[in-house]
Structure 1
Amino acid sequence: MGHSHIHDGHGHSHLPGGAGDGAILVAVVVNLALTGAQILGGYIADSTALIADGVHNLSDALALVLAFGARRLARRPATPEMSYGWGRAEIVAAFVNYVALIAISVWLAIEALGRLASPPQVGAGLVMALAGFALIVDIATAALVWRASRESVNIRAAFLHNLADAAVSLAVILGGLLIWAFGWQIADPLLTLLISAVILWHVGQEIGPVMRMLMLAAPPGIDHQALIRTVTGVEGVASAHHLHLWQIDERRNALSAHLVMRDGADQGLAVQRVKALLRQDFGIDHATIETEREGAPCSDSRHHHGHDDHGSHDHHH
């Protein structure tokens, strides 16, 4: 029985060392300070819309924190205790962040609905001043992380969040103008509901890929049947089973499989060809492949869920 295992950049995310870290750190500090000012100002002005904008801005700050932390952790080498490195810390933190945002958004919506019947008097001047300041910070933050966003999909998402946040700040300024000019106090809870919906929409767009990685799902965009045809099309390979495909993190895909080899086949050469095709056609750089002789029983069959009374596995291809 043959066994082959490759490590290509194992434990690293291939991020440029230190590129843009200073700008990201400055952006995080500024956004956290802005969040505190908006939430405090929202309580003083009795504006749920301003508090909602602050919470939305907090999501941007946390996204930047995750991006910054991931860049730092990704440079740490893998260890026997953390054999995949620290790449998945970003995924866990992102999931916790999104769940917290869902809870906060629901709370904001409930608060806004309670204010629709009897809107309180909102300090329009303070609301517009803080929202205007937030708009400047959002644009400045986007400018700070723009360069780094070209290198990292994670930071690019945070960059797009900042642009969306700028639009939300414009909406809050508009609400303050309506209250100041026409006394339309109902504009504040209505805007709060709108901002809550925007936050939930953002979370809905981004929590799916995070859940897929946490559940060890196959990377999106990979045709499973095409992959099977490619593997079993290599000379000397009769079939494949125990095939598992998952994402280590957002940049690294992994595969493990058993190959059933025909009599007389060069097992080492077949494994090399399979790995080369996996890397070339499917972007899978981390492959663990075990070989077996055709007709011989699989040694792992009885140690997996999904086997029947005869030891066959339901991942047979």
Structure 2
Amino acid sequence: MGHSHGHAHGHAHGHHHHHAFGGDGAIGWAVAVNLALTAAQIFGGLIADSTALIADGVHNLSDALALVLAFGARRLARRAATPDFSFGWGRAEIVAAFVNYLALIAVSVWLAIEAFGRLADPPQVAGGLVMALAGFALIVDLATAALVFRLSKDSVNIRAAFLHNLADAGVSVAVILGGALIWAFGWNLADPILTLAISVVILWHIALEIGPVFRMLMLAAPQGSDPSRVIAALRDLPGVDDAHHLHLWQIDERRSAASVHLVVATGDFAEITLRAKDVLRRDFDVGHATIEIEKPDACADDAVTARDQAS
């Protein structure tokens, strides 16, 4: 899939996305295969009377949807900024990843409830059919994971889809083992127990991954950044008496932004602004900074607030 197609599609969407076409093609295939698999598994699960197999099928459906979501968000994220959407569409990926995790939580909880219902009275399950279909699913999951792995390194929402697939492969392995137990020993409890185990694994994964996504949505400071250090560094700049009203947030996975007020009694305002932006970019990786310079005791925000309170 190299970069050979770069020049052919380069004019279509900027030079820095020349790998994107290959990525999109991979995702398209992954979606198609996962949808075919879902149909086979749910149908097979109904015939074999196995919740674990239906669960695996539903999980594969959520997988396909996750990829569709990831794919759509990737396309959206490439859209140029407009006066209306001044930060561009980079955050579409964060929203997609968040929706994705919420959907997975719902699926996992639903699976667990189903499984609890069947623990008391496990039905007869056709183990052979279960093993065959889960084996097919395992191959598809690993193939999909391989297709999206290359892209998962640089995008939180493709990573969510990739995790889906790994969870899926695990699910399929478990279902194959369950089918083997049922087929060899007639141990029908294997089916609901597996279903429960699958839910727990998925929920545990999400617990690890949802935090950073939630922070971005809440406009929290970028993970690992220290706002007090940023303020201290700005206060240390020559000519700067004080720094306050600092806001740090992430526009998307790759871009951080800041806005801050600097108190400057004397000196070249433009020069100080430039220096402050340099410090933010170099030491704190903030590429998008808005800096307001004000005279001592003349903070515009405070004055407006005071005026509002007086009236």
TM-score by length of 2: 0.87
Say whether 1:273 aligns with 2:275: yes
The farther-off stretch of 141-150 and 102-111 is: 141-150
Q: Return closer, same or farther for 1:31/1:52 CA change in 2, 3 Å cut-off.
A: same
- SS of the equivalent of 2:147 reads helix
Question: Could you tell me how far apart the structure 2 residues matched to 1:67 and 1:255 are?
Answer: 28
Counterparts of residues 96-115 of structure 1 (less than 5 Å): 96-115=99-118
For structure 2, list consecutive stretches of 5 or more residues without a partner in the other structure: 1-13
Q: Return closer, same or farther for 1:24/1:95 CA change in 2, 3 Å cut-off.
A: same
Q: Which of 173, 178, 182 is matched with 2:176 structurally?
A: 173
- Tell me if structure 2 keeps the 8 A contact 1:134–1:169: yes
Q: Return closer, same or farther for 1:76/1:131 CA change in 2, 3 Å cut-off.
A: same
Counterparts of residues 20-169 of structure 1 (less than 5 Å): 20-169=23-172
Counterparts of residues 241-256 of structure 1 (less than 5 Å): 241-256=244-259
How many equivalent residue pairs? 295
Code of the residue aligned with 1:275 in structure 2: it is K
Give, in angstroms, the shift of residue 38 of structure 1: 2.0
The farther-off stretch of 37-46 and 122-131 is: 37-46
Of all paired residues, the percent bearing the same amino acid is 71
For structure 1, list consecutive stretches of 5 or more residues without a partner in the other structure: 1-11, 311-317
Question: Could you tell me how far apart the structure 1 residues matched to 2:28 and 2:307 are?
Answer: 51
Question: Could you tell me how far apart the structure 2 residues matched to 1:43 and 1:79 are?
Answer: 50
Tell me what 2:11 maps to: none
Question: Could you tell me how far apart the structure 1 residues matched to 2:200 and 2:214 are?
Answer: 21
The farther-off stretch of 43-52 and 230-239 is: 43-52
Q: Return closer, same or farther for 1:73/1:213 CA change in 2, 3 Å cut-off.
A: same
Give, in angstroms, the shift of residue 192 of structure 1: 0.4
Structure with greater contact order relative to length (CA < 8 Å, sep ≥ 6): 1
Q: Return closer, same or farther for 1:169/1:102 CA change in 2, 3 Å cut-off.
A: same
Code of the residue aligned with 2:300 in structure 1: it is S
Q: Return closer, same or farther for 1:57/1:213 CA change in 2, 3 Å cut-off.
A: same
Tell me what 2:295 maps to: 293
Tell me what 2:10 maps to: none
The farther-off stretch of 248-257 and 155-164 is: 155-164
Give, in angstroms, the shift of residue 150 of structure 1: 4.1
- SS of the equivalent of 2:241 reads strand
Hey, which of these two has a bigger chunk of helix by percent?
2
C-alpha deviations, 1:204-236, integer Å up to 9, x for none? 122212211111111110022211111111111
Question: Could you tell me how far apart the structure 2 residues matched to 1:133 and 1:55 are?
Answer: 15
Question: Could you tell me how far apart the structure 2 residues matched to 1:104 and 1:302 are?
Answer: 51
- Tell me if structure 2 keeps the 8 A contact 1:49–1:195: no
- SS of the equivalent of 2:259 reads strand
Tell me what 1:259 maps to: 262
Give, in angstroms, the shift of residue 165 of structure 1: 2.2
Code of the residue aligned with 1:244 in structure 2: it is H
Question: Could you tell me how far apart the structure 2 residues matched to 1:39 and 1:19 are?
Answer: 31
- SS of the equivalent of 2:123 reads coil
- Tell me if structure 1 keeps the 8 A contact 2:243–2:263: yes
Give, in angstroms, the shift of residue 178 of structure 1: 0.2
Question: Could you tell me how far apart the structure 2 residues matched to 1:256 and 1:234 are?
Answer: 16
Aligned-CA RMSD value: 2.4
The farther-off stretch of 53-62 and 127-136 is: 53-62
